[in-house]
Structure 1
């Protein structure tokens, strides 16, 4: 991404230093809990240095934690040892930046190591199912099934995989109160899409039911309505289409607000919230689609939306999520790979990833103190 229009200026605080207490987390660098943490990604070879996963993993190894990265095709169910994986093991060290750390992980000389997940405290699911639709459609569901088995042992799996099986599909979004959602239709019938558009002023947004990063997203209005049949054909090629009412506020971009344990992530006085906006005539504001970003304070409307969706996130064990908000509606909910932490930290100097690691360490301490009597769902959002 080219961030040629970052309005927010980084604060004077040094990146990586926490300025104070975070909501629901301890402050600063925690040294009393050394943990083993594994991150599930699509493939280590396809990770990029602006991914939140890489930032979290780099900060974790700097704390002295044992970190492993597992691709969706790297799991093993062993008849004797249970859930294992061929993992890329990170050395424990201080790396200059995310680029240097990723180069370490992707070193051609790096060999994978067979690990037993029952020895790991945390398994963070950070793969993007949309990236697997055309070439490895077996991978996302397989990864979730292995994760579900891992959660039956002592490993804390986040987000909770029993619910993530349903939450990865955009139909999950329809389970939240209608007051925070745009009007929506999900169908493969072109005439039903036309009917929806006619009922909403001839304007709407069409996208694949399964997708992310602004891929396959089309804004329909009078200027391109004549191309509707071709657009619908392209969207439904691999499944259902979702069509939503157009939100005028989306013309100014959207907010990406991160939630942790069902509540907005906040460190000291700073929310993990950024404004994403298009820098071209393309309407998409996703960072992966070339949008710009700036740190912002969420307004009362955005905080109200977070408050409304919080109970369901907690009930479903959705530990870390990304709410995409335009005006008074939530456009999308990212439960797979909620990202943006690296951009937020670089713009603000606030250690959001450190706050997440503090919280993971706290969960591991609680699990140990309760002797394994807490369920994975409870630990996911406690």
Structure 2
């Protein structure tokens, strides 16, 4: 099997924790071959196929350099056995355009994971709207007065932009409402940007759990990302401490309710963010935490993923 990864620049990978690297390593271990490109390398020309300038690579097993380029070529995406879209958020206009190229590649015969249509239909924050029964009280709006009313109702709230990642732009406003007006102005830009507002979940002290759904099944361990010091964000990129742990009874119930519905839409890999027993986000663009879970528990998450990929292609 020959697999193309559409991803961020290979030189930017932090291989001690990178999930895309872990996928590549497991694929190569099984005898599959790997190629990589960036979204900017993908193009389409009338009369032809969606193609990309790709690098065929081999993982060296060393830390540096961790890969070597064995060939470079321009190739139609349909000529790969699988195309894995692993570009990190944000879900901006260029990411959106890339999903349209990938949809055209599917029409030409390519097998793309996650499904580009499903990526468009499930933007990181707004995918939660469909699963409101599992979410904390949540408001998505451009209206500053609605945000103030939500704060008056719930007292302690979290505000975040819809296009953020890694904890970027997340604010907590307590009962005193300190700086609420300034935060609203910063996030919604005089009503031009939508904002997600959620009731603060005290269970964040025990971690913001990343639960992985792979091929419609939950991985049995999650990564609880625990805020450190005075920080309210558990995101690893914001300094949170990652602690792997077995899924709780409520985690299993949430995961088993959501996983089959998303898998049926072509979402091979999903990352649920759960605080306590509430889902706060549904991540589909480039979910992570494979290596942290495997290193701490011994459960082989990359193997579970490649098993699911092979089964999807069978």
Residue matched to 1:101: 66
| 1:172 matched to 2:127 | yes
CA contact (8 A) 1:159 1:317 kept: yes
Of 249-258 and 111-120, deviating more is 111-120
Query: Match for 2:187 among 214, 235, 238?
Result: 235
Q: Is the aligned partner of 1:199 residue 2:159?
A: no
The verdict on how the C-alpha distance between 1:212 and 1:362 changes in structure 2, with shifts beyond 3 A counting, is same
Aligned residues of 2:215 and 2:308 also touching (Cα < 8 A): no
The aligned residue for residue 247 of structure 1 is 201
2:228 aligns with 279
Q: TM-score, normalised by structure 1?
A: 0.76
Counterpart check, 1:350 vs 2:296: no
Other structure's SS at 1:226 match: coil
Aligned equivalents of 1:161 and 1:282: distance in 2?
35
Shift in Å, 1:310: 2.3
Counterpart Cα distance in 1 of 2:97 and 2:10: 17
Distance 2:305 2:124 in 1: 25
Which residue number in structure 1 is paired with residue 33 of structure 2?
66
**C-alpha distance after superposition, 1:21-41 (max 9, x if no partner):** xxxxxxxxxxxxxx1111111
Offset of 1:43 from its aligned partner?
Answer: 3.6
- How many residue pairs end up in the alignment? 311
Q: Give how far 1:45 is off.
A: 4.3
- Specify which structure has the bigger relative contact order, considering alpha-carbon pairs within 8 angstroms and separated by 6 or more residues: 1
SS in 1 for 2:128: helix
Q: Is 1:61–1:90's contact at 8 Å kept on the other side of the alignment?
A: no
- Decide whether aligned partners of structure 1 residues 289 and 328 sit closer, same or farther in structure 2, where only a CA change above 3 A counts: same
Q: Which residue number in structure 2 is paired with residue 36 of structure 1?
A: 2
Distance 2:66 2:75 in 1: 21
Q: Distance in 2 between matches of 1:112 and 1:228?
A: 52
Backbone CA RMSD of aligned residues: 2.1
Aligned runs of 1:1-382 on 2, under 5 Å? 35-49=1-15, 50-91=17-58, 93-97=59-63, 100-101=65-66, 104=68, 112-130=72-90, 137-176=92-131, 178-200=132-154, 202-222=155-175, 225-237=177-189, 239-265=193-219, 271-364=220-313, 366=314
Q: 1:278, 1:290 within 8 Å by CA — same for their partners in 2?
A: yes
Work out whether residues 134 and 278 of structure 2, in 8 Å CA contact, stay in contact via their aligned partners in 1: yes
Say which structure is richer in strand: 2
| Structure 2 unaligned residues grouped into runs of 5+ | none
Hey, what's the Cα distance between the residues in 1 that align with 2:249 and 2:178? 39
Q: Distance in 2 between matches of 1:314 and 1:358?
A: 15
> 1:304 Cα deviation (Å)?
0.7
For 2:124 and 2:307, how far apart are their aligned partners in 1? 30
Q: Contact 1:208–1:217 at 8 Å: present in 2 too?
A: yes
Kept after mapping to 1: 8 A contact 2:114/2:267: yes
- The CA distance in 2 between the partners of 1:96 and 1:256, in whole Å, is 29
User: Where do 5+ consecutive residues of structure 1 fail to align?
Assistant: 1-34, 266-270, 367-382
* Cα pair distance change 1:222/1:112, threshold 3 Å: farther
Check the 8 A contact 1:72/1:142 in 2, yes or no: no
CA distance in 2, matches of 1:44, 1:188: 37
Matched residues in 1 for 2:168 and 2:71: separation?
A: 33
Alpha-carbon separation, structure 2, partners of 1:352 and 1:251: 26
Offset of residue 53 of structure 1: 0.6
1:11 corresponds in structure 2 to none
Instruction: Kindly state the Cα deviation for residue 334 of structure 1 after the two structures are TM-superposed.
Output: 0.8
